[in-house]
Amino acid sequence: MPADTTPMMQQYLKIKEENKDAILFFRLGDFYEMFNEDAIVASQELDLTLTSRDRAKPEDERTPMCGVPYHSCDGYIARLIAKGYKVAICEQMEDPAAAKGIVKRDIIRVVTPGTVDAAMLEGNQANYICGIYIDENNAGLCFCDITTGKTHATAFTGPERVNHVMNELGRFSPVEAVLSECAWGERALVETLREKFRCRAENRGDRPFRLEEAERMAVKQYGREAAARLPKANPAAVMALGGLLSYLYETQKTDLSHISDLEYYEQGRFMELDLNARRNLELTATLRGKEKRGSLLWVLDRTRTAMGARLLRSWLERPLLSVAAIRRRLGAVEELVRDAVAREELTAVLAGINDMERLIGRVVYGSAGGRDMASLRASLERLPGLRAQLAPLTAPLLRELAEGLDTLEDVYELLCRAIVDEPPFSVREGGFIRPGYDGEVDRLRGILSGGKNVIAEVEAREKEKTGIKSLKVGYNKVFGYYIEVSKSYYSQVPETYIRKQTLANCERYITQELKELENTVLTASDRATGLEYDLFQELRGQVGAQMGRVQAAAAAVAALDALCSLAAAAVRGRYCRPEVDESGVIEIHEGRHPVVERVLKGSLFVPNDTYMGEQENRVAIITGPNMAGKSTYMRQV
């Protein structure tokens, strides 16, 4: 390190050395600054102006730098993450005004594709990061969406274990993956992650996946009961989970208690489709354009909430195999199809519910602001009405949702008492705590509003006492409050006035009374803002403590929204309820391809029958010229 390197740059270089694989956002005042190679990369990727330090040095010895405002950094971070970079956030850990010497700074979070804040994501799609563990006999993997707190884990054994892993990747489409050493050695797997899923993959070695530590972390994160559901016979699932949790703890450095919903599922619970079948069926995206429009999801998705949209996508990506479970879901859809009034009323209520899953995640994570709290409050306001609309319905699944829907009136009332109707963007500037919530905030605000009136009174009194009609009381950050007198009245200025500044056409003075008033008003403003922020932190903790209840209510809302969506699609497409059993027979009368039929304009889809059985008619040979509909027929079946 050069001898003339400043203490601040020494601090920067030390922190950067510990985060070589990330672009370092280094907090300096109101900006996150980047230096050296990071600055060059960021300036190119974000279209920022590249400047430099050390202007006195020759150009080739200067330190390149660029920066972004700290209060609007999310958009810049999101763009870097979308381009495949990691971003390490280095924050000031003490008040610069009170610091002795160089301000203490430290990494508070590392942002990666799988750990971005919910505010940077599209609401209708989950954002999974996965952990993959493979050894010579077993394979385990887990998927976690940290914006909603949901985790799914499974395990496989035998020679086909890697193929099963790749098929599971197709269900969840992760954006980031952490792999054990043996998993990293499976080159086909790594290439599939990078090329087919555009997934950021990282070799974490074997240390983070050790069984004993993985079991301890699973119990700590999800509780002993949830962790006990992970299979002892094949520990690969818990090892994959341990590797992922280790990575999350290392990069996030904050409260992750909202990651509490752990589902272990075994092979056979959901239909397993290989990657090619998934792509060719165009379940959630078209084969050529990778777009939602033209897919089965496009036809079926009439959801009104982001939570419902994500759940419906999940249902399509993980088809049920249990006949009983399928019939429960179909029974709920059938009742909603038949009762158009109930369906429309439910849909109207659902339309006003925001993304409760991700909002409570932001609350617990510590990134929620006043507007997030207001958004959560607006959602909770609709829950009693939703439950009332559900009450008359009789389908078992709908009854279960109605009985389990916690309307969270206590949380709603707390947010109503605490947060104003339209809170400002930043919680650092005050103005978001509702009058009457806290007596001390009300008292300080009274001083502030009263102080402004007092200043007007001081100005009127001084005008009358001195006879200076043009006298006015003003304020600036350099001198504070001052009395300004124009040139023609200098002779009437009292001796008690203390001259502070001479301008071209006037003089500015202060008095002892003004200085005392200034101290009262200005400290009240700072104290009120600081107290509001402390109250908000406390409120965030109170709401976050109800995380489990909010997540359960959000799950019920999502399920109801997905069911209403399927019902609305059935009404629009004139779909019937299928009879699902275990006979091993596919019997379809006048079947239609839902997507092709929707896309057709000005012509009718010609329906087709199908009969195939496990014992007889096991094979059907389809013939016909090009563009006759052979592929369409196969896909619709």
Mean pLDDT by runs of 10 across the 637 residues of the chain is 74 93 93 94 93 71 88 89 92 82 90 88 87 95 94 94 94 95 96 93 95 95 92 92 96 88 89 89 89 94 96 95 96 97 96 95 90 96 96 96 95 96 86 92 82 79 90 84 91 90 90 84 84 94 94 97 98 95 93 91 86 90 89 90
Rounded to 5 degrees, φ, ψ at 354 are -85, -175
Sign (positive/negative) of CA torsion 504, 505, 511, 516?
A: negative
State the DSSP code for 257: T
Task: For residue 361, count other CB atoms closer than 10 A to its CB.
Answer: 28
CA 237 to chain centre: 26
Q: In terms of residues, how long is the chain?
A: 637
- Cα 13 from Cα 36, distance rounded (Å): 10
pLDDT of residue 97: 74
Q: CB of 510 within 8 A of CB of 481?
A: yes
pLDDT of residue 520: 79
Q: CB of 132 within 8 A of CB of 153?
A: no
| Residue with the two structure tokens 């829907």 | 405
Sheet order of strands, 498-502 included = 472-476, 480-486, 506-510, 498-502
Sheet order of strands, 64-69 included = 51-52, 64-69, 31-35, 23-28, 87-92, 105-111
- Cα 630 from Cα 622, distance rounded (Å): 7
State the DSSP code for 101: S
Apex 58 CA angle, 54 and 64, nearest 5: 50
Torsion of CA 40, 41, 42, 46, to 10 degrees: 110
Report helix, strand or coil for 157.
Answer: strand
- Cα 377 from Cα 364, distance rounded (Å): 16
- Cα 498 from Cα 447, distance rounded (Å): 26
Rounded to whole angstroms, the maximal C-alpha distance in the chain is 115
Strand residues in 226-353 grouped as ranges (E) = 261-264
Report helix, strand or coil for 6.
Answer: coil
C-alpha distance from residue 19 to each of 15, 86, 148 (Å): 7, 10, 27
* Global model pTM greater than 0.75: yes
Q: CB of 252 within 8 A of CB of 115?
A: yes
